[in-house]
Amino acid sequence: MPSWRDHLQRLRVAEHGPALVRAVVARNERVAARVCVLDLRLEEDVPAPSAGQFFLVDCGGGREHLLRRPLSVMGYDPAPQPALIFLVEVVGWGTRRLCAMQPGEKVGLLGPLGRGFGAPAGRFSLLIAGGMGIAPLLFLSHELKSREQACDLIAGFRDSGQVFGGRQDIGSPNGVCTEDGSMGGRGKVCDGLAGRLSEFGYTSVFACGPGGMLEETARVCAAAGVPCQVSLDSRMACGLGMCRGCVKQGAGGANLCVCKDGPVFDSTQVFD
Ligand SMILES: Cc1cc2nc3c(=O)[nH]c(=O)nc-3n(C[C@H](O)[C@H](O)[C@H](O)COP(=O)(O)OP(=O)(O)OC[C@H]3O[C@@H](n4cnc5c(N)ncnc54)[C@H](O)[C@@H]3O)c2cc1C
Ligand code: FES
């Protein structure tokens, strides 16, 4: 039976395999009532992450809170010292601890993990974010624009306590709404999606957010014949495809290993 370390070693042989690394908190800024942006400077190199990939972050809980928490990369800067930017919403012990970290504190990370977003079909993409789903989509928007591929990013939040409007170095959404109307327009981010697809002629859709939002987005895209990629959320332990703790049922009853085969899937793999 191969050990966890053997498995990690085998993955590292792959060009983009994950690494266990240490980082230092460079900046931690509260950007909404429940949300912070965490800038980490890496003390060792990691393979450059692509949009949609994530890291498992050690929140420093020792034996009581053993599991690292999955967080999507929102920004990556390779030079002069590699740096990662994460967006964190406080929901429980680990995320509360991360949002309370002070500059200079050390953090352990494993990553980059998973499969990120694939290339868009056609020339004009719509990125749809629900809640903290905005983190990987801001990274994707940055990547697409640096390749001169056009895209719009729209973001929906539950209420103003969750709203993150972006940052100069990583960009910002083109439109924001909240379910309770406390900031931006009132409603859900995929309201009126069918009309938006035909009005603007989007050729690809990328979505990350709660399951119901992803399902609705996938349904509308399938009806409109627009290819759609969705990033799934699942509770995770190893992040390496070993424990099967993250498996979700996809289209036709297929078992999807979210950490290794995802978190990004073509919507037709996930929804019937
Ligand atoms: C691929 C991926 C990317 C993510 N990216 C982000 C991000 O960029 N920003 C952000 O704020 N959140 C993100 N999340 C959700 C985040 O991982 C959870 O909110 C976090 O793990 C909760 O930990 P906690 O200790 O605060 O909460 P607790 O509820 O105390 O956690 C208990 C356990 O459940 C797990 N858990 C709880 N909720 C979730 C959840 N929604 N998803 C996965 N595991 C969960 C925790 O990891 C931990 O092992 C992501 C989740 C996944 C799967
Ligand atoms: S978290 Fe262990 S297999 Fe996905």
Q: What's the alpha-carbon Rg for the chain, to the nearest Å?
A: 18
In 3D, which of 258, 214, 51 has the Cα closest to residue 147?
51
Reported as a single tens digit per residue, the pLDDT across 116-127 is: 999 999 999 999
Q: 158 and 97, same structural domain? A: no
H/E element holding 207?
Answer: strand 204-208
Does residue 178 carry a pLDDT above 50?
Answer: yes
Q: What is the pLDDT of residue 11?
A: 52
Which residues are CB-contacts of 249 (< 8 A; sequence separation ≥ 6)?
255, 256
Does residue 187 carry a pLDDT above 70?
Answer: yes
Q: 154 and 88, same structural domain? A: no
Q: Note whether residue 155 is domain-resident.
A: yes
CATH number at residue 80: 2.40.30.10
Q: 56 and 130, same structural domain? A: no
Q: 239 and 136, same structural domain? A: yes
Instruction: Indicate the residue among 67, 88, 113 that finishes a domain.
Output: 113
Ligand 1 midpoint to CA 67 (Å) = 10
**Which residue out of 8, 115, 232, 260 has the highest number of ligand 2 atoms within 8 Å of its CB and is therefore the one to mutate?**
260
Instruction: Indicate the residue among 67, 93, 113 that finishes a domain.
Output: 113
Range of the domain at 193: 124-270
Q: 177 and 86, same structural domain? A: no
Q: Note whether residue 119 is domain-resident.
A: no
Q: What is the pLDDT of residue 56?
A: 97
